[in-house]
Amino acid sequence: MAESLFATLFPSDCRLCSAPLTNISRLPVCEECLAAIRPIDGAVCTVCGERILTPYAVQGSVRCGLCQRVDLPFEKAAAYGSYEAELRGLVHLLKYQQVRPVANVLGRMLAEVISSMEPSFGSAEVLVVPVPLHRAKWRQRGFNQTDLITQAALKSLPHRERFVLQPSLLKRTRATRSQIGLTRHQRRENMRGAFSVTKAEQVAGPEVLLVDDVMTTGTTISECARILHRAGAIKIWAVTVARTLKIGSGNMRITKNESTLAVAG
């Protein structure tokens, strides 16, 4: 029984690459896999965080084609890494295999994103609002992975006293179907009316930092931001651990001349 319990708590193989683990840890992931997770590189849109090939300066910022045409309901969205390979594996370990120690690793990544964005915030307190799960999904999973990641991130911030965690400020009022395979219009319709603000009096005035684990097209973040704006929030920022990038890093080359970006064969 003791050996079985030890094998469960301290597995011998990495859950991402199956290599033998050399150190005893509650995190069943090897150092090589963790080291392979890198921040997003290259030019990205300063509004939505999407990687771009040809940057266009718009009012002091560099925006992708979509953000030049559409005003998004948040000031800026940023993510730590691309939702692929080892980072995708880590997120899945937490969400679908309930390996909760992963939340601490993802939280430290998220803290880096928040710290890089912090100079843009005002001097007042910032409300931190994780994107909620529907109660049926919460009962099935037993936790909201975004809550765990957010809590871990706030513990890692040097100025964490200015961030006020509000995990129940947003409520998911109805279950939504999977966004996989849906068009942009279908995603918007799928999310419309799926969230509500529980305490509108707390939203009016302070800046709000929305947190989610993964950003795909930004539909969920945008709908949450829209609802918060309607409740009185003036400035909304968004951070995620990972995001799906339309352009992979292997498909682009950045020269020393920052105005020249070319597709690399």
Q: How many domains does the chain have?
A: 2
Residue ranges making up the domain that contains 151:
73-248
Nearest-10 crossing angle of helices 145-156, 102-117: 60
Counting residues of the chain whose pLDDT is more than 90, the rounded percentage is 45
Most confident of 9-18, 196-205, 219-228: 219-228
> Residue 68 domain-assigned?
no
> Residue 83 domain-assigned?
yes
> Residue 263 domain-assigned?
no
Picking from 208, 175, 180, the residue whose alpha carbon sits closest to that of residue 193 is: 175
| Tokens 């899945």 belong to residue | 92
Q: How many residues does the chain have?
A: 265
pLDDT for position 248: 63
> Residue 24 domain-assigned?
yes
> Residue 122 domain-assigned?
yes
Do 32 and 138 fall into the same domain?
no
Do 141 and 199 fall into the same domain?
yes
Check residues 156 and 175 and name the one with the higher pLDDT: 156
Q: Going by C-beta distance under 8 Å and a sequence separation of 6 or more, which residues neighbour residue 237?
A: 74, 75, 76, 77, 117, 120, 121, 207, 208, 209, 210
* Alpha-carbon 141 to chain mean position: 19
> Residue 2 domain-assigned?
yes
What pLDDT digit, counting tens, does each position of 66-113 carry?
888 888 999 999 999 999 999 999 999 999 999 999 999 999 999 999
Mean pLDDT across 229-248? 89
Mean pLDDT across 233-248? 89
Do 118 and 218 fall into the same domain?
yes
Cα–Cα dist 100/53, whole Å = 37
